[in-house]
Amino acid sequence: MTDKVSRWRITRRSFLKGVVISGTATALATQPGYKTPRARAQEAAPPEPGVTYAYTYCDNCNHVPKCGIKAVVKDGKVIGVEARENYPNSPLCAKGVATIQELYDPHRLLYPMKRTNPKGSADPGWQRITWDEAYDTIVAKLNGIKEKYGPEKVMFYCGDPKEPRPAMQRLAYTFGSPNYCNESSTCAWAPTLAAILTYGQGTMGANPTEKTKLCLLWSKNPAWSEPHLFGKLIKAKENGTKFIVVDPRVTPTVEALADIHLQLRPGTDGALALGMMNELINKGLYDQEFVANWVQGFDELKDYVRDFTPERAAEITGIPVDRIKAAVSLFGTEKPATWLGSASPTTHSSNAVQNHRGILAFMALTGNIDVEGGLTFPTHALPFDLFAGTPQFNRTTDLWPQIRDKRADTDRAPVWAHFFPEIQANFMPEYVKEGKIKAIVMAGGNAMMWPQPQEYQEALENMEFGVAADYYLRPWTHNYMDMVLPAAMPYERMAALAVFGRRVFLREPIIKPFGEAKPDWQWMMELGSRLVGPEEFFGGSEEKAVDAVLRFATGKGIEEFRGKPEGVFIAPPGPEQYRKYESGLLRNDGQPGFNTPSGKIEIYSSVLEEFGHDPLPTYKEPVESPFSTPELAKKYPLILNTGSRVPMYTHSKLRDMPILRNLMPVPIVRLHPDDAKARGIQAGDKVIVSSPHGQITVFAEVTNIVRPGAIDIFHGWPQADANKLVARQFDPISCFPAYKEGLCEVTKA
Ligand SMILES: Nc1nc2c(c(=O)[nH]1)N[C@H]1C(S)=C(S)[C@@H](COP(=O)(O)OP(=O)(O)OC[C@H]3O[C@@H](n4cnc5c(=O)[nH]c(N)nc54)[C@H](O)[C@@H]3O)O[C@H]1N2
Ligand SMILES: Nc1nc2c(c(=O)[nH]1)N[C@H]1C(S)=C(S)[C@@H](COP(=O)(O)OP(=O)(O)OC[C@H]3O[C@@H](n4cnc5c(=O)[nH]c(N)nc54)[C@H](O)[C@@H]3O)O[C@H]1N2
Ligand code: SF4
Ligand SMILES: [Mo]
């Protein structure tokens, strides 16, 4: 039941391109048991004299906990990379192979630098300085701001890199600032917030197991965004699991997995979920017993979705009504069913949390909650956070509660501020204008990731002091800073732990850092020692800090984890359990039920009601759309969709890696053949994409991957930043930007 029409109309060129790209990037991942030629050769023969193997991981895309790398080392140099055996995420995609090109890239940032030209100059005049001078300056500047305005005026920010987050959080709170934040302000935290509000805990879904009959893959393209997961899903498919894939595009994931493809208009996920619930209720396919016992707000929801017939959902989303009905009817027969969602597309919307809650509500009505093979919650999770920190180490247990009332985001993001210790970073321009933030310490930030990036660049420029650590000088961010610090790469750093369920891997350095690059944890411990005191920062030692995290979470010290590429399994106190809402294992107080105020799954959210939001997962049209702004749509008739992942790049990174750059040398817009023809545009033409908020120049790719009437553009190109087209229009609950909705037009340049 895949969209046959779009399938056979894929142009030969784009189809071939898709194959080539996914072939390079994902074929290895899709073949369980695949061994590279080198691995096969190694099995037959021992390593050459002088060659050793060492183990690390790839950090070239943002998923956690990332894929394993087996490095081939000779004379202190990494001469090859292999997929790591006995590692939960494996093998490597093309970006993983490119880590070796990154490591030896002559353009890396290798020394601390300070600017010598004033802010606002085209050239910052970077000048090399010593780490000592860097630390002395940072300490003097931050302490100056603390004395003059208070410690909360300093923002501590981690972008892409996940490993330094616990150390950065500790640095912020011990300094006295609650204003620690990270890139999850646009990524995993809105779906997490929706799940906390609805289910009482964060979840992005559960992978299918051998028991799973049906998997609802909602806005996820792991073929390109998580190749290691894609391999597991292919296996599930071979095992007989059926797949429903919700995606506006005909992706390689759709091609490989979908029994039913729901090809919706971007930004209309909430309407689809409501139409599906209407059908589920009317056909009596919902789990009446589960709903009666464990769901709050069923009656109110039933009233609300009465008008949301599948026909109305079809009209809003553009999906044929029969297909919506067929998808719902599968839930009546194929049990257990699971759901896998993504960190982003459903919440890159101006109705982010409510659209996403619609999906969670749908799953709740089907009753597949915490049943084996369904949408399970882990029974004995180790007490690490998502980024392998612990509340004790990060100091969210003792220090954060004392300083939280000084956080900058309480007025603008009250629901967010109620649940997360991290502040909502998306209002950085407002915080600076309002005098709430005056300085920033940044690790791996990228000003191009936000809508209307120039406002973030201006905010950075207007701060009294800014320092950023990175692998490279990134002018679009660093030109607005006072100082940059060179960060060591995974091959060169401890950085720090990978946690897969109850298996914990210590990541040890393989080679010495180049130049004066330092692991982020190391510079943070050294800076913390000078800024706050050596006793808080383990005398400046990264190893001692990692040891502390391990002890908090596992009771074991670092020595027990060293030299163990297979990781250390921390035995659980008992077997995995299901229907934990019956046994009291889901709630903090040990009572039966879910960890929400009512103890039930809150389709009707009492917390949202308290904060003045609609308590039901109500649907709102995108702020700019053919339905909400028909006049605007006459000038900008195409739906704008930015940031769908491409296999060869991650956000603003990797553009200069030779093996990747060849796969997509220039920024492109993907246009449906009908839309291209109507505009006289041919594949390869230089085109202007304009929206009510800005314009960029890119090259046209004409392809049936996209829906007619919708385009897609990858973000992170400095010469053509898609975020210039995106409005600073935020979801009222999570304050997420609407990257995946909006209006635009494409014309020949
Ligand atoms: N239009 C649009 N915008 C989007 C999105 C979209 O879909 N559409 N997606 C959003 C999402 S989901 C996300 S997660 C964000 C991502 O946004 P970012 O995380 O800001 O993006 P990156 O381009 O990965 O930038 C990370 C920077 O960190 C540096 N870096 C990498 N590793 C390390 C390290 O270990 N240490 C240090 N010190 N530096 C390091 C890199 O060199 C780079 O300069 O973008 C968001 N922006
Ligand atoms: N190669 C690569 N891998 C990455 C990254 C990267 O930059 N490059 N980034 C990493 C990060 S930070 C993240 S958050 C993940 C994201 O991982 P994914 O969410 O899997 O990736 P995306 O391609 O952003 O989005 C998935 C699909 O959502 C569809 N989509 C777009 N708009 C909508 C919509 O309105 N509704 C629905 N239902 N679907 C929509 C797109 O067509 C796309 O095929 O990927 C991670 N992996
Ligand atoms: S999917 Fe690719 S880029 Fe991401 S961690 Fe694995 S090898 Fe690296
Ligand atoms: Mo993300």
- Which structural domains are found in the chain, ordered by start? 113-185+383-569 (3.40.50.740), 190-379+595-610 (3.40.228.10), 630-748 (2.40.40.20)
Question: Which residue carries 């093996």 as its tokens?
Answer: 659
Find the ligand nearest to 108 CA: 1
Query: Quick one: how far is CA 248 from the chain centroid?
Result: 19
Using a 10 angstrom Cβ sphere, with 0-12 exposed, 13-18 middle and 19 or more buried, the burial of residue 378 is middle
- Cα 656 to middle of ligand 1, angstroms: 16
3-state secondary structure 353-373: HHHHHHHHHHHHHHCCECCCC
**In sequence order, what E strands does 221-316 have?**
242-246, 260-262, 295-296
Instruction: Give me 75's structure tokens.
Output: 């004379």
Q: Which residues line ligand 3 (CB under 6 A)?
A: 58, 60-61, 66-67, 92-93, 95-96, 227-228
Is 242 near ligand 2, meaning CB less than 6 Å away? no
Instruction: Give me 150's structure tokens.
Output: 């208070």
Among 395, 412, 385, which residue's Cα sits nearest to residue 202? 385
pLDDT at 42: 56
Residue to mutate, 109, 165, 186, 724, ligand 1, most ligand atoms under 8 Å from C-beta? 186
Question: Alpha-carbon distance 268 to 148, whole Å?
Answer: 48
Question: Alpha-carbon distance 714 to 727, whole Å?
Answer: 16
Question: Which residue carries 């898609």 as its tokens?
Answer: 722
DSSP state for residue 47 in the 8-state scheme: P
- Cα 428 to middle of ligand 1, angstroms: 16
Find the ligand nearest to 167 CA: 1
- Cα 379 to middle of ligand 3, angstroms: 28
| 307 contacts: CB under 8 Å, gap ≥ 6 | none
Is 346 near ligand 2, meaning CB less than 6 Å away? yes
Cis before 37 (ω within 30): no
- Cα 190 to middle of ligand 2, angstroms: 14
DSSP string, 426-485: GGHHHHHHTTS--EEEEES--GGGSSSHHHHHHHHHHSSEEEEEESS--HHHHTT-SEEE
Question: Which atom from ligand 1 is nearest to the alpha carbon of 163?
Answer: 35
The rounded radius of gyration (Å) of the Cα atoms in the chain is 25
Q: Which residues line ligand 1 (CB under 6 A)?
A: 59, 62, 159-161, 183, 186-187, 343-344, 348, 443-446, 449, 469-472, 474, 487, 520, 642-643, 650-653, 715-716, 722-723, 726, 739
Question: Alpha-carbon distance 285 to 310, whole Å?
Answer: 15
Q: Indicate the SS3 state at residue 103.
A: helix
pLDDT at 343: 80
Nearest residue CA, atom 45 of ligand 2?
225
Is 278 near ligand 2, meaning CB less than 6 Å away? no
CB 101 within 8 A of CB 657: yes
Nearest residue CA, atom 2 of ligand 3?
93
pLDDT at 91: 83
CB 161 within 8 A of CB 444: yes
- Cα 148 to middle of ligand 2, angstroms: 43
Nearest residue CA, atom 41 of ligand 2?
644
Nearest residue CA, atom 17 of ligand 2?
225
Quote the pTM value. 0.94
Question: Alpha-carbon distance 735 to 14, whole Å?
Answer: 36
- Cα 188 to middle of ligand 4, angstroms: 6
Question: Alpha-carbon distance 637 to 297, whole Å?
Answer: 38
Low-confidence ranges of the chain (pLDDT < 50): 1-35
Question: Alpha-carbon distance 366 to 333, whole Å?
Answer: 11
In angstroms, the Cα distances linking 209 to 157, 338, 372, 459 are 37, 9, 8, 47
pLDDT at 39: 54
Question: Which atom from ligand 3 is nearest to the alpha carbon of 60?
Answer: 3
Question: Alpha-carbon distance 617 to 195, whole Å?
Answer: 12
pLDDT at 599: 97
Instruction: Give me 588's structure tokens.
Output: 């903090």
- Cα 225 to middle of ligand 2, angstroms: 6
